[in-house]
């Protein structure tokens, strides 16, 4: 639906009902900034953009959307490459004005508004010597990452982001504004932790924080391709229960990528992101086998934890076109499979040299804290010890969209055919991390496992008309009427 179909007097009526918020129409610089996304390919031309300042204005906006039969999208950090945070001709709720963060250092909690980025949270906590489990790219929005689960560098110590979520405030489709927690609307709180995109607009999150006064050992290491098998072997050993990182304090992400700024025609090599929540002496002991491989790049140093989640920002910059193909892999990762992926990525980049920013990442962290939480305790169903990874194809021209999607699926299939653990699904769990999956790329049965039936019952209770249907929708639009 376009603004012309709405009638300008109707739009003015909405403006009058939103005294504290901003209403944008196509054509202005503010409008163009609001529909920008991390991936250019995820941008869509909204008919209206609302930048709410209050929960009441969000409630009013949701009523307006339903009254006029408009499509709705909600944007926080805007990192979804599937376009789930965008709408073509509908109404966009842009939460970017809701970025307040408050820390209670005595209780060790942090409360952040729904449009905050992880940079906002990390910085506020760092001022008090605290930290919580957050995104490893700090310009990611807290809302999307939290509602889908949330892995981070502190997961080995404290579990997922949702394992540290204490409460949340949400605006429902019917306009109600609720506080949810283990004791307040606990069924809704259960659903928010893993499938929250389906239930409303979360305006506030309160997380448990943890003492992190000391600096941590972190940075990037670069290795030539011939070292791949040794790097993978080290990563497997590091996060095994009996390994140096078996205490959850050390993790490594292995990127297969062309180094930023490398000469044209350079093939993909190995970039290892390292974090150790230890002293430098202990970290260098743990990572000694890796450092002995003579890295060609080494930025390792002791840094405040609040800076760690900026470490990968240079690999995950805004702009261009991207698709995200998530996968999981059972441990240990076979070095031969990693070699096959590196070779295939190199072939793709030879064919498409402009796609030079594409990469594959294998994440290695200790997942004992994740697996210790019973699968039924919250909607998030992936409580296995399988590690996560991403195939990120990165291109510039819209004419290449179909081919880029094909290559991303090809690389993902190469990995999943050999490394993705299927037993989890058979046991009622999930086999892949939903935040790494583009909407529609995996079935909701794969994403939510045995929790899906309960989620659908709660969907019928809290959003019977399926207003919130963008990210891994629990029911299709054609089936939404069956919820009522």
CA dist list (Å): 20 to 27, 53, 117, 464: 22, 6, 22, 29
Confidence of residue 420 (pLDDT cuts 50, 70, 90): confident
Confidence of residue 261 (pLDDT cuts 50, 70, 90): confident
Mean pLDDT, range 421-434, rounded to an integer: 65
Q: What digits encode the pLDDT tens for the residues 16-63?
A: 999 889 999 999 999 999 999 999 999 999 999 999 999 999 999 999
Q: Which two tokens stand for residue 432?
A: 């892949």
Of the candidates 381, 364, 387, 384, the residue with the CA atom closest to the CA atom of residue 372: 384
Q: What digits encode the pLDDT tens for the residues 323-372?
A: 999 999 999 999 999 999 999 999 999 999 999 999 999 999 999 999 99
CA distance 277 to 139: 22
CA distance 198 to 147: 9
* DSSP string of 246-298, one letter each residue: TTSSEEEEEEEEPPTTPPTTPPPEEEEEEEESS-HHHHHHHTHHHHTT--SEE
CA distance 368 to 377: 16
**Residue 484: burial class (beta carbons within 10 Å; 0-12, 13-18, 19+):** exposed
Contact yes or no for 195/448 (Cβ under 8 A): yes
CA dist list (Å): 214 to 157, 415, 428, 432: 15, 38, 40, 33
Q: pTM of the full predicted structure?
A: 0.96
Q: What digits encode the pLDDT tens for the residues 264-303?
A: 889 999 999 999 999 999 999 999 999 999 999 999 999 9
Which residues are CB-neighbours of 29 under 8 A, at least 6 positions away?
none
Helical (H) or strand (E) element with 238: helix 228-239
Place of tokens 């990611």: 140
3-state secondary structure 424-440: HHHCCCCCCCHHHECCC
The total number of residues shown for the chain amounts to 484
CA distance 163 to 462: 23
Of the candidates 336, 344, 319, the residue with the CA atom closest to the CA atom of residue 411: 344
Longest dimension (CA), the chain: 70
Residue 446, Ramachandran bin (φ over 0: left; ψ between -120 and 50: alpha; else beta): alpha
CA distance 35 to 44: 7
CA distance 300 to 109: 30
Q: What does the pLDDT read at residue 373?
A: 97
Q: What does the pLDDT read at residue 365?
A: 98
Q: What digits encode the pLDDT tens for the residues 161-215?
A: 999 999 999 999 999 999 999 999 999 999 999 999 999 999 999 999 999 999 9
Confidence of residue 424 (pLDDT cuts 50, 70, 90): very low
Mean pLDDT of the chain: 94
CA distance 269 to 138: 24
Q: Using a pLDDT cut of 90, give the percent of the chain over it.
A: 90
Q: Characterize the bridge pairing of strands 321-329 and 359-364.
A: unpaired
Mind listing the domains of the chain with CATH numbers? 3-97 (3.30.43.10), 101-211 (3.30.465.10), 216-436 (3.40.462.20)
Peptide bond before residue 332 is cis, with ω within 30 degrees of 0: yes
Residue 107: CB atoms within 10 Å: 11
Q: Characterize the bridge pairing of strands 109-113 and 101-104.
A: antiparallel
Which residues are CB-neighbours of 172 under 8 A, at least 6 positions away?
178, 199, 200, 462, 463
Contact yes or no for 455/448 (Cβ under 8 A): yes
Of the candidates 456, 467, 479, the residue with the CA atom closest to the CA atom of residue 173: 467
Whether residue 218 is predicted with pLDDT greater than 60 in this model: the reply is: yes
Ranking 46-60, 309-323, 469-483 by mean pLDDT, the lowest is 469-483
Q: Which two tokens stand for residue 160?
A: 């997922």
First to last CA, the chain: 24
325 SS3 class:
strand
Q: Characterize the bridge pairing of strands 48-51 and 91-94.
A: parallel
Q: What digits encode the pLDDT tens for the residues 76-121?
A: 999 999 999 999 999 999 999 999 999 999 999 999 999 999 999 9
């Amino acid at each position: 639906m376009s603004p012309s179909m709405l009638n300008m007097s109707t739009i003015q009526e909405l403006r009058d009902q939103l005294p504290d918020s901003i209403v944008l129409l196509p054509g202005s610089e503010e409008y163009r900034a609001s529909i920008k996304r991390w991936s250019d390919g995820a941008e869509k031309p909204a008919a209206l953009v609302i930048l709410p300042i209050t929960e009441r204005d969000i409630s009013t906006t949701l009523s307006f959307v339903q009254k006029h039969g408009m499509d709705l999208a909600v944007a926080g950090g805007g990192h979804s490459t599937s376009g789930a945070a965008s709408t073509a001709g509908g109404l966009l709720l842009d939460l970017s004005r809701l970025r307040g963060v408050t820390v209670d250092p005595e209780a060790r909690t942090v409360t952040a508004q729904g449009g905050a980025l992880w940079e906002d949270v990390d910085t506020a906590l760092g001022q008090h010597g605290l930290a919580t489990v957050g995104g490893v790219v700090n310009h990611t929005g807290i809302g999307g990452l939290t509602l889908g689960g949330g892995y981070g560098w502190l997961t080995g110590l404290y579990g997922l982001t949702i394992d540290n979520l204490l409460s949340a405030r949400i605006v429902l489709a019917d306009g109600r504004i609720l506080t949810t927690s283990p004791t307040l609307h606990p069924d809704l709180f259960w659903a928010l932790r893993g499938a929250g995109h389906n239930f409303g607009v979360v305006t506030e999150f309160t997380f448990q924080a943890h003492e992190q006064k000391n600096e941590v050992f972190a940075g990037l290491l670069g290795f030539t391709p011939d070292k791949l098998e040794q790097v993978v072997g080290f990563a497997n050993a590091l996060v095994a229960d009996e390994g140096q990182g078996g205490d959850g304090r050390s993790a490594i992400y292995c990127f297969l990528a062309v180094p930023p700024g490398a000469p044209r025609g350079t093939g993909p090599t190995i970039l290892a992101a390292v974090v150790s929540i230890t002293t430098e002496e202990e970290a260098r002991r743990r990572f000694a086998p890796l450092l002995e491989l003579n890295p060609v790049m080494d930025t390792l140093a002791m840094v405040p934890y609040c800076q760690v989640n900026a470490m990968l920002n240079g690999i995950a910059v805004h702009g261009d076109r991207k698709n995200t193909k998530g996968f999981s892999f059972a441990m240990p990762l076979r070095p031969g499979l990693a070699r096959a992926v590196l070779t295939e990525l190199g072939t793709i980049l030879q064919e498409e040299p402009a796609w030079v920013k594409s990469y594959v990442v294998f994440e290695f962290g200790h997942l004992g804290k994740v697996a210790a939480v019973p699968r039924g305790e919250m909607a998030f169903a992936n409580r296995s010890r399988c590690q996560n990874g991403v195939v990120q194809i990165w291109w510039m021209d819209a004419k290449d969209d179909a081919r880029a999607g094909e290559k991303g699926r090809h690389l993902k299939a190469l990995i999943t055919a050999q490394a993705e653990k299927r037993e989890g699904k058979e046991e009622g769990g999930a086999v892949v991390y939903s935040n790494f999956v583009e909407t529609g790329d995996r079935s909701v049965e794969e994403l939510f496992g045995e929790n899906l039936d309960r989620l659908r019952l709660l969907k019928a209770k809290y959003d019977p008309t399926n207003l919130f249907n963008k990210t891994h929708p629990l029911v299709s639009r054609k089936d939404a009427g069956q919820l009522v």
